[in-house]
Structure 1
């Protein structure tokens, strides 16, 4: 067989958008072209992307947090090559995996209080598994989740999604899923109490820091939420799919708040950016409720969940994080970056708040007080709520080669999820670019507001029909 990937990529690089438009998601291609995001990236290395012309970009999206180690980390790539060369007997199914056992051992060593691991292929699969484990362990049906939550887009995970745009048109969704406000202990206890009357609440699933808006909990919220769950016999499930593995400057975001969950969900960064992997860590008693007899040993599983490539990627990722002290770097460099960005709030009236932890940072914009800016802001907002953020994001990419994204539909928040490997030069790059672009947004009549009027025109046209 003559297969040469290099030749295929070289010969057909220019067809990327046409092929996707013809055979895949044409609407996504339209969005990219409308916003000027059709850059045609050709290579990734560390926290940087390179287009076909060789221009370098700083990626602050990092695959929604997948590339915590940066792209194409040589240690993880080497581990995967070793797996291929070893010709291991993977996925025998009527056998167990040595690499899965090693990865489980290494993960549990970093997760105090957790005793068992279930491996799967993604964060959404981890959420689906958590629903099943919680219901089986407690014998109860109801799952509590938060407004603005994001736990994935498969059917069960979507049933716990707190944003209507993702749910619309897909109902009826999974029954017995109840939405409550985030960071509201009174609402949580009321929902637990209501469920306790009929012994209904199996679990409360929560992101320690909400990914969609980088919404932060009060200092006592998570610990008190866990206490309330135990008081009423429900499980406290921490969705650390985006916040875990060092993203917030601790291995788990829960560590900032002194809380020990009953279950922890992991994925994204555990892959090393190469092979999808998800994991559910939990107490032994929860695991044992599902796998309680030999005839139930296969009652839940995932065909590719413990494949050797994914397990090796996870092992290598954990070792890289330790050797390069990436959790500590996320803490120190993330704090420095956030402090620099927070200084911009006093300088730019359109920037209202900068918040987050480690390398998970949200910049929230809001209506200005000055009359000229207020009129321009409302022009954009009347076309589409949150459209102002595109006025920041487009020149960031076009003029400063920085890639990032609005935090959610109709949102005034831009979220930064850089690789944990960014250096001081990258930090200065980020702060300088945001300072200049946000400053330009305060100049009515400048080029950035020409872009704003064009965006408003597109928005109003879309609204009309």
Structure 2
């Protein structure tokens, strides 16, 4: 028997609450790559929730690790000289996996906090180096770096930046796929005033754009030439999403900092952090009295750290990073079958287990709400995809089967048929 929608008290992020307040889609349970609504109907989770359910849903190993830790020490802070065994073990493990020399790990509770941490640390690093004028942060158009203060200020999705009054100053955005645009910005601002450049390996929420060939290598080289800190935002791309631990290894990158979250626990508990290269940590670690006055209450939370360690065990044991590599091509080929659909303008993907289908300009011109309508039509067919501006995005759990990828493609086509 269907449950009638009720008016909610829950304010949903990124939602038109006038529409949503009495028309929520209630997910009541999940298992593997499937989620179930409150009426028991199942849906293929084509987005791994919000990009993060990398090992799939219902993994009892993670639940049991968290429960066991809560019976011993549920929570305690790691400010000053306090620590706990799971936080220490997690930091050591992540440092060992990171493609960064002498890595240090600053733990947070999510991606937005990680971005703010990295941006503040970049400015503090230069102040400690005797160059306090190096405060400028360059990012990219279409970039999404969360919704905290720094993340909003350096984000490149303009609708997410507007309406909040003055944002953090000394920030600039450049074209997301043009290394020469970054060089020109550095020359205009002055390299001696630029603290850091932030870039996602594969641009996620801004429309899902894989990097142009050679782009990431070129901007990393440019940053090195000018002493600018290169920060890889791997919140979406890490922990197998593009076939490696931190989403930068396939390009041979060794960033000064890497922000991470989401897949580090597969979303079972909130966790993020920043991998910090030894040279960036050095002013704070090798000299007394230099305190980075920043941190979150739940940084190093022992229960969350225990869940992360169990999640990393699954990723390693089941070789899910390699599986993402194996499924990258089948997913992209499935999406490319939609390229000639009359409602489709462009298909993007081929780098990692994620992709996007952008609607044709004429379809969007005739119906600005076409993306939302298509997303709901596809959901009615039993598959969840994510509306992103002009496109529909997919990023399924790394545990998805090829037959389930085919189901995802079939539902996308049938849903697109309803609008074009």
Q: Which has the larger radius of gyration?
A: 1
Q: Give 1:142 deviation, angstroms.
A: 0.4
Q: Distance in 1 between matches of 2:218 and 2:374?
A: 38
Corresponding residue SS for 1:117: strand
Aligned with 2:95 (options 103, 108, 111):
108
Corresponding residue SS for 1:395: helix
TM-score by length of 1: 0.82
Sort the Cα spacing of 1:312 and 1:295 in 2 relative to 1 into closer, same or farther, 3 A.
same
Q: Distance in 1 between matches of 2:46 and 2:226?
A: 41
Question: Which residue number corresponds to residue 163 of structure 2?
Answer: 169
Q: Runs of at least 4 residues of structure 1 off by over 6 A?
A: 13-16, 23-26
Question: Which residue number corresponds to residue 254 of structure 1?
Answer: 248
Alignment of 1:354 with 2:326, yes or no, is no
Q: Give 1:298 deviation, angstroms.
A: 6.1
Q: Distance in 1 between matches of 2:163 and 2:14?
A: 20
Aligned with 1:142 (options 128, 136, 158):
136
Alignment of 1:419 with 2:409, yes or no, is no
Question: Which residue number corresponds to residue 378 of structure 2?
Answer: 396
In the alignment, is the contact (CA less than 8 A) between 2:75 and 2:303 conserved in 1?
A: no
Aligned with 1:44 (options 8, 13, 30):
30
Question: Which residue number corresponds to residue 326 of structure 1?
Answer: 320
Sort the Cα spacing of 1:141 and 1:25 in 2 relative to 1 into closer, same or farther, 3 A.
closer
Q: Give 1:340 deviation, angstroms.
A: 1.8
Q: Give 1:295 deviation, angstroms.
A: 3.4
Question: Which residue number corresponds to residue 175 of structure 2?
Answer: 181
Question: Mean Cα displacement is larger for which, 100-109 or 247-256?
Answer: 247-256
Map 1:51-62 onto structure 2 (within 5 A).
Answer: 51-62=37-48
Q: Distance in 1 between matches of 2:219 and 2:258?
A: 15
TM-score by length of 2: 0.90
Q: Distance in 2 between matches of 1:432 and 1:412?
A: 20
Q: Distance in 2 between matches of 1:203 and 1:361?
A: 28
In the alignment, is the contact (CA less than 8 A) between 1:116 and 1:281 conserved in 2?
A: yes
In the alignment, is the contact (CA less than 8 A) between 2:335 and 2:409 conserved in 1?
A: yes
In the alignment, is the contact (CA less than 8 A) between 1:193 and 1:232 conserved in 2?
A: no
Corresponding residue SS for 1:238: strand
Alignment of 1:18 with 2:4, yes or no, is no
Q: Give 1:196 deviation, angstroms.
A: 3.1
Q: Distance in 2 between matches of 1:149 and 1:26?
A: 16
Question: Which residue number corresponds to residue 387 of structure 2?
Answer: 406
Question: Deviation per CA, 1:25-81, whole angstroms, max 9, x where unpaired?
Answer: 7964543478x6x33221111221111221111122333212112223211111101
Alpha carbon RMSD of aligned pairs, Å? Answer: 2.4
In the alignment, is the contact (CA less than 8 A) between 2:51 and 2:236 conserved in 1?
A: yes
Sort the Cα spacing of 1:291 and 1:353 in 2 relative to 1 into closer, same or farther, 3 A.
same
Q: Distance in 2 between matches of 1:323 and 1:59?
A: 23
Question: Deviation per CA, 1:151-207, whole angstroms, max 9, x where unpaired?
Answer: 01111111111112111121211110111111111111112223336x100100011
Question: Which residue number corresponds to residue 69 of structure 1?
Answer: 55
Corresponding residue SS for 1:71: coil
In the alignment, is the contact (CA less than 8 A) between 1:203 and 1:234 conserved in 2?
A: yes
Question: Which residue number corresponds to residue 130 of structure 1?
Answer: 118
Question: Deviation per CA, 1:72-121, whole angstroms, max 9, x where unpaired?
Answer: 32111111011012236732644222212211121122212241111111
Alignment of 1:119 with 2:115, yes or no, is no
Q: Distance in 2 between matches of 1:16 and 1:66?
A: 27
Sort the Cα spacing of 1:417 and 1:239 in 2 relative to 1 into closer, same or farther, 3 A.
same
Q: Distance in 1 between matches of 2:20 and 2:404?
A: 25
Corresponding residue SS for 1:243: coil
In the alignment, is the contact (CA less than 8 A) between 2:137 and 2:170 conserved in 1?
A: yes
Q: Give 1:14 deviation, angstroms.
A: 6.4
In structure 1, stretches of 5+ residues that fail to align are 1-12, 368-373, 443-465
In the alignment, is the contact (CA less than 8 A) between 1:272 and 1:313 conserved in 2?
A: no
Q: Distance in 2 between matches of 1:345 and 1:240?
A: 28
Corresponding residue SS for 1:20: coil
In the alignment, is the contact (CA less than 8 A) between 1:62 and 1:419 conserved in 2?
A: yes
Sort the Cα spacing of 1:418 and 1:33 in 2 relative to 1 into closer, same or farther, 3 A.
farther
Corresponding residue SS for 1:58: strand
Q: Distance in 2 between matches of 1:76 and 1:148?
A: 34
Corresponding residue SS for 2:416: helix
Q: How many residues align?
A: 409
In the alignment, is the contact (CA less than 8 A) between 1:150 and 1:162 conserved in 2?
A: yes
Question: Which residue number corresponds to residue 200 of structure 1?
Answer: 193
Alignment of 1:438 with 2:419, yes or no, is no
Greater helix share, 1 or 2? 1
Q: Distance in 2 between matches of 1:143 and 1:206?
A: 11
In structure 2, stretches of 5+ residues that fail to align are none
Corresponding residue SS for 2:410: helix
Tell which has more relative contact order, 1 or 2 (C-alpha 8 A, sep 6+). Answer: 2
